[in-house]
Amino acid sequence: MVDMNVEIGGVRLANPVMPASGTFADGLDKAVDFERLGAMVIKTITRELRVGNALPRVCETPEGMLNSIGIPSKGMPYFHEETLPTYTRYSTPLVVSISAPTVDGFASLADEVSLPGVAAIEANISCPNLEEDGKAFANEAASAERATAAIRRRTSLPLWVKLSPNVTDIAEIARAVEAAGADALVVANTFLAMAVDIESQRPRLGSVTGGLSGPAIRPIVLRMTWQCARAVDVPIIGCGGIATAEDAIEYMLAGASAVQVGTVTFVHPTAMISVLEGIESYCLRRGYERVTDLVGALSVEEADETDMEWVDPLR
Amino acid sequence: MVDMNVEIGGVRLANPVMPASGTFADGLDKAVDFERLGAMVIKTITRELRVGNALPRVCETPEGMLNSIGIPSKGMPYFHEETLPTYTRYSTPLVVSISAPTVDGFASLADEVSLPGVAAIEANISCPNLEEDGKAFANEAASAERATAAIRRRTSLPLWVKLSPNVTDIAEIARAVEAAGADALVVANTFLAMAVDIESQRPRLGSVTGGLSGPAIRPIVLRMTWQCARAVDVPIIGCGGIATAEDAIEYMLAGASAVQVGTVTFVHPTAMISVLEGIESYCLRRGYERVTDLVGALSVEEADETDMEWVDPLR
Amino acid sequence: MKSPDPGAEPHHATAYSIAAAEFDCEVIENEAVNAEYMHIVATADPLATSVAAGQFFHMLCPKDGPNGPFFRRPMSVYKADPKAGTVAFLYKVTGSGTRALATLAPGDRLDLFGPLGVGFALEPDWRRIVVVGRGVGLATLAPLAELAAANGMGVTAVLSARSPAVMISGERFRAVGADVIEVTDAGGTSGPARLERVLRGLIADGMADAFFTCGSNRLLLLLQRLGREFGIPGQVALEQQMACGLGMCFCCVREFRVDGGVAHRRVCWDGPVFDLQEAISW
Amino acid sequence: MKSPDPGAEPHHATAYSIAAAEFDCEVIENEAVNAEYMHIVATADPLATSVAAGQFFHMLCPKDGPNGPFFRRPMSVYKADPKAGTVAFLYKVTGSGTRALATLAPGDRLDLFGPLGVGFALEPDWRRIVVVGRGVGLATLAPLAELAAANGMGVTAVLSARSPAVMISGERFRAVGADVIEVTDAGGTSGPARLERVLRGLIADGMADAFFTCGSNRLLLLLQRLGREFGIPGQVALEQQMACGLGMCFCCVREFRVDGGVAHRRVCWDGPVFDLQEAISW
Ligand SMILES: Cc1cc2nc3c(=O)[nH]c(=O)nc-3n(C[C@H](O)[C@H](O)[C@H](O)COP(=O)(O)OP(=O)(O)OC[C@H]3O[C@@H](n4cnc5c(N)ncnc54)[C@H](O)[C@@H]3O)c2cc1C
Ligand SMILES: Cc1cc2nc3c(=O)[nH]c(=O)nc-3n(C[C@H](O)[C@H](O)[C@H](O)COP(=O)(O)OP(=O)(O)OC[C@H]3O[C@@H](n4cnc5c(N)ncnc54)[C@H](O)[C@@H]3O)c2cc1C
Ligand SMILES: Cc1cc2nc3c(=O)[nH]c(=O)nc-3n(C[C@H](O)[C@H](O)[C@H](O)COP(=O)(O)O)c2cc1C
Ligand SMILES: Cc1cc2nc3c(=O)[nH]c(=O)nc-3n(C[C@H](O)[C@H](O)[C@H](O)COP(=O)(O)O)c2cc1C
Ligand code: FES
Ligand code: FES
- For chain D, what are the domain ranges? 6-116, 128-275
Residue closest via CA to ligand 1's atom 12 equals C91
pLDDT surpassing 50 at residue B184: yes
pLDDT at C13 over 80: no
Inform me whether the C-beta atom of residue C251 falls under 8 Å from chain A C-beta atoms.
Answer: yes
Burial class (CB in 10 A: 0-12, 13-18, 19+), B312: exposed
Q: What is the pLDDT of residues C74-115, one digit of tens each?
A: 999 999 999 999 999 999 999 999 999 999 999 999 999 999
Mean of pLDDT values over B271-286 = 98
- Confidence band of B308 (pLDDT split at 50, 70, 90): very low
Q: State the pLDDT at residue D8.
A: 42
Closest residue in C to B303 (Cα) is C1
Confidence band, pLDDT 50/70/90 cuts, at residue C135:
confident
Task: State the ligand closest to the CA atom of A95.
Answer: 3
Contacts of B69 in chain D (CB under 8 A): 249-251
* CA Rg value for chain D: 18
Question: If you take atom 17 of ligand 1, which residue's CA is the nearest one?
Answer: C74
Phi first, then psi: give them for residue B95, nearest 5 degrees: -110, 125
Question: What are residue D130's DSSP bridge partners?
Answer: D156, D211
- Ligand 4, residue B43: give the atom nearest the CA: 8
Residue A10 near chain B (CB below 8 Å): no
Whether B312 has a pLDDT exceeding 60, the answer reads no
Nearest Cα neighbor of A206 from A70, A65, A53, A66 is A53
Contact residues on chain C for A74, CB-CB shorter than 8 A? 5-7
Atom index in ligand 2 nearest the CA of residue D101 equals 26
- CB contacts < 8 Å between B and C, how many? 8
pLDDT at B133 over 50: yes
Residues lining ligand 6, judged by CB closer than 6 Å? D 242-245, 247-252, 266, 268-269
User: What does pTM read for this prediction?
Assistant: 0.95
Which ligand is nearest to the Cα of residue A263, counting in written order? 3
Residue A50's pLDDT band (boundaries 50, 70, 90)?
confident
* Minimum distance, in Å, between the CA of residue C73 and any CA atom of chain B: 21
CA distance D137 to D146: 15
Contacts of A269 in chain C (CB under 8 A): 20, 22, 113, 244, 246
pLDDT at B97 over 60: yes
Q: Separation of B161 CA from ligand 4 center, angstroms?
A: 14
Mutate to test the pocket of ligand 5, among C244, C254, C264 (most ligand atoms within 8 A of CB): C244
At A97, which helix (H) or strand (E)? strand A94-98
Tell whether D260 is within 8 A of chain A (Cβ).
no
| Rounded-to-integer distance, Cα B59 and Cα D251, Å | 10
Q: Pick the residue whose CA is nearest to atom 3 on ligand 6.
A: D247
Question: What is the pLDDT averaged over residues B151-173?
Answer: 98
Low-confidence ranges of chain D (pLDDT < 70): 1-17, 66-67, 282
Which one is predicted more confidently, D191 or A61?
Answer: A61
Task: Find the ligand nearest to D138 CA.
Answer: 2
**Number of continuous H segments (helices) and E segments (strands) in chain A:** 9, 16
Q: Which residues of A touch C2 (CB under 8 A)?
A: 51
C7 lines ligand 5 (CB under 6 A): no
Residue among D74, D99, D98, D95 nearest D214 (CA): D74
The confidence score (pLDDT) of residue D7 equals 42
Starting from the CA of residue C254, give the closest ligand. Answer: 5
Q: Which residue of chain A has the CA closest to D4? A: A314
Going D121 to D127 to D132 to D136, the CA torsion angle's sign is: positive
What's the gap in Å between D269 CA and the centre of ligand 6? 7
Ligand 5 lined by C118 (C-beta under 6 Å): no
Class of domain D6-116: mainly beta
D63 contacts in chain A (CB < 8 Å): none
Is pLDDT of A56 > 90?
yes
D282 compared with C234, residue with greater pLDDT: C234
* pLDDT for B302: 56
Q: Do A306 and D2 touch (CB under 8 A)?
A: yes
Per-residue pLDDT, B168: 97
**Rounded mean pLDDT, A257-273:** 98
Which one, of D258, D268, D221, lies nearest residue D71 by Cα? D268
Residue in A59, A127, A228, A239 annotated catalytic: A127
The CA A163 to ligand 3 mean position distance, Å, reads: 12
Query: Nearest CA to CA, how far is B45 from chain A (Å)?
Result: 12
What pLDDT sits at residue D68?
A: 72
Residue pLDDT, tens place only, B198-243 = 999 999 999 999 999 999 999 999 999 999 999 999 999 999 999 9
pLDDT of residue A96: 98
Q: What angle do CA B269, B274, B276 make, to 5 degrees?
A: 120
More confident residue, C146 or C15: C146
For ligand 2, atom 21, which residue shows the shortest CA distance? Answer: D73
Spell out the alpha helix ranges (H) of chain A: 75-78, 84-88, 103-113, 141-154, 170-179, 218-231, 245-253, 264-267, 271-286
DSSP string covering D180-243, please?
EEEEETTTT---HHHHHHHHHHHHHTT--SEEEEES-HHHHHHHHHHHHHHT--EEEE-----S
Please give, rounded to a whole number of angstroms, the shortest distance from the CA of A210 to a CA of chain D: 22
CATH of C128-275, one of 3.40.50.80, 2.60.120.260, 3.40.50.720, 3.40.50.1360: 3.40.50.80
Give the position, in ligand 3's atom list, of the atom nearest the Cα of A43: 8
Note the pLDDT of residue C16. Answer: 62
Can you tell me whether residue B153 is helix, strand or coil? helix
Ligand 4 pocket residue status of B21, Cβ below 6 Å: yes
B181 Cα–ligand 5 center, Å: 49
B210 ligand 4 Cβ < 6 A? no
CB contact (8 A) between residue D66 and residue A306: no
**C-alpha distance from residue C206 to each of C13, C126, C127, C220, D23 (Å):** 29, 11, 9, 20, 67
Give which of C1, C2, C64, C67 to mutate to test B binding, by max B Cβ within 10 Å. Answer: C67
- Interface contacts A/B by beta carbons within 8 Å: 220
How confident is the model over A173-198, as pLDDT tens digits? 999 999 999 999 999 999 999 999 99
**CA-based nearest residue in chain D for residue A304:** D1
Q: Hey, what amino acid is at B169?
A: D
- How far, in Å, CA of A94 to CA of A115, rounded? 11
What local confidence, expressed as pLDDT, does residue C91 receive?
95
Flag whether pLDDT at C175 surpasses 60. yes
Mean pLDDT along residues B253-271: 98
Instruction: Give the ligand with the smallest distance to the CA of B23.
Output: 4
In this prediction, residues C52-68 reach a mean pLDDT of 87
Position A308 pLDDT exceeds 70: no
Judge if the beta carbon of residue B97 lies within 6 A of ligand 4.
yes
Which residues in chain A are contacts of C7 at CB distance < 8 A?
A: 72, 74, 78
Residue B121: is its pLDDT beyond 50? yes
Looking at chain B, how many residues does it have?
Answer: 315
- Interface ipTM: 0.94
Q: Is the CB of C143 under 6 A from ligand 5?
A: no
The tens digit of pLDDT for each residue in A198-208 reads 999 999 999 99
How far is it, in rounded angstroms, from Cα D157 to Cα A92? Answer: 66
Q: Reply yes or no on whether A127 is catalytic.
A: yes
A127-139 pLDDT per residue, tens:
877 777 778 999 9
Q: From chain B, pick out residues whose CB is under 8 angstroms from the CB of C1.
A: 304, 306
Contacts of B215 in chain C (CB under 8 A): 66-67
- Chain A, 75-94: which have a CB under 8 Å from a chain B CB? 75-77
Give CATH for domain B6-311: 3.20.20.70
B40 pLDDT more than 70:
yes
DSSP class per residue in C159-216: EEESSGGG---HHHHHHTT-EEEEEETTTT---HHHHHHHHHHHHHTT--SEEEEES-
Closest residue by CA, ligand 2 atom 44: D241
In whole angstroms, what is the distance from residue C107 CA to residue B177 CA?
58
* Ligand 3 closest atom vs CA A215: 25
Predicted confidence at residue A73, as pLDDT, reads 81
Query: Does residue A171 belong to the interface with chain B, where contact is any CB pair within 8 Å?
Result: no
From C238, C254, C268, give the residue whose CB has the most ligand 5 atoms within 8 Å, as the site to mutate.
C268
Task: Calculate what percentage of chain B has a pLDDT beyond 90.
Answer: 85
Query: Out of B127, B228, B239, B283, which one is annotated catalytic?
Result: B127
- Which pLDDT belongs to residue B202? 97
CB contact set of B79 (below 8 Å; sequence gap of 6+): B45, B113
Per-residue model confidence (pLDDT) at position B42: 97
Mean pLDDT of chain A: 93
Confidence of residue C64 (pLDDT cuts 50, 70, 90): confident
Q: Which has more confidence, D13 or C168?
A: C168
* Amino acid C167: pLDDT: 81
Vertex A261: Cα angle to A259 and A265 (nearest 5): 165
